[in-house]
A = this chain, B = another copy of it.
């Protein structure tokens, strides 16, 4: 017993297939009584429209893809969760793709999915601008943790946030901070560094950048060693994972945090609250980033013509102070 089709429903209800189709896709084009009758018959038969047949003609798949630069980063869990929830609320299917920090993989996967999805949400895309523009020409795209003029995006307000970090460090007496940079092709890394440097200048601190580092805990050891060698009293790591890796290494080398060195991270992942000492970090409502990104995307894939506007949303950040930062030695 294969799935019933509109033909079965039409036959059972004694109407034409087009009427059945319309009853589902544009209910007000069909008389209320007929419609109810069709619905009843359909429910009886257990009919469900075949999304592929529908997509074939309409070109709309009720599916969006979320591409993340590295799925192993816990920071994304929140984004994914927010996105999944929002997509589900609109009965959209969420396809998840891991770019494994490789622009190549990212691009290939996106191209593979172009025919099957209505749009893309890209998390911290490592692709060059021109690729993003090209993809945006094929399907609606919303960027997360990245901005590009002309494309909609959702980010956390990092300029502001970085300023808070530097202020926090300055008020603790630090005169010199070291930023452990993220991947070379990370927009976020560039933005953070630029914001940190500006804020540092403004507040009379010396800012230095080391890196790039792969933002994983395992790469924290090398980062920590470099930072110590550079004579850091305050380390701002590209993200919490790196910061946690740094702190581990510092403990190993018997460098006291925060007495000798202060450490700050980004993202406020679950683990930041659990490590010892607790990690001071710049957090924010990451689930909202995912949620809003999907929301904008659904707007863009909607039936109404694209408005031409590309909202660039910046959600507030919050400096979560824990024990990894303290007065400068």
Contacts and interface: CB of A to CB of B under 8 A. Distances in A.
A41 interface: no
B48 A52 contact: no
A72 B61 contact: no
A276 interface: yes
Contacts of A270: 74, 217, 271
A160 interface: no
A8 to B, nearest CB: 15
Given A72-B77, A74-B270, A88-B109, A51 B96 contact: no
B115 A96 contact: no
Contacts of A271: 270-271, 274
Interface string A45-75: 0001011110110000101000000011010
Contacts of A274: 244, 271, 274-276
Looking at A48, A84, A93, A113, the one whose CB has the most chain B CB atoms below 10 A away is A93
Interface string A94-123: 111110000000000101111110000000
Contacts of A3: 115
A321 interface: no
Contact of A98 (B48, B74, B85): B85
Contacts of A116: 51-52, 63, 93
Nearest to A66: B96
A130 interface: no
A162 to B, nearest CB: 25
Contact of A95 (B50, B91, B93, B111): B93
* A-B residue pairs, 5 tightest by C-beta: A274-B275, A96-B96, A276-B276, A271-B271, A274-B274
6 contacts: A48-B112, A50-B56, A72-B77, A74-B270, A244-B274, A271-B274
Interface of A: 3, 48, 50-53, 55-56, 61, 63, 71-72, 74, 77, 80-81, 84-85, 88, 91, 93-98, 109, 111-116, 217, 244, 270-271, 274-276
Given A52-B52, A71-B77, A271-B274, 16 more contacts: A48-B114, A51-B116, A52-B56, A53-B56, A63-B95, A74-B77, A84-B97, A84-B98, A88-B98, A91-B112, A93-B95, A93-B116, A94-B96, A270-B271, A271-B271, A275-B276
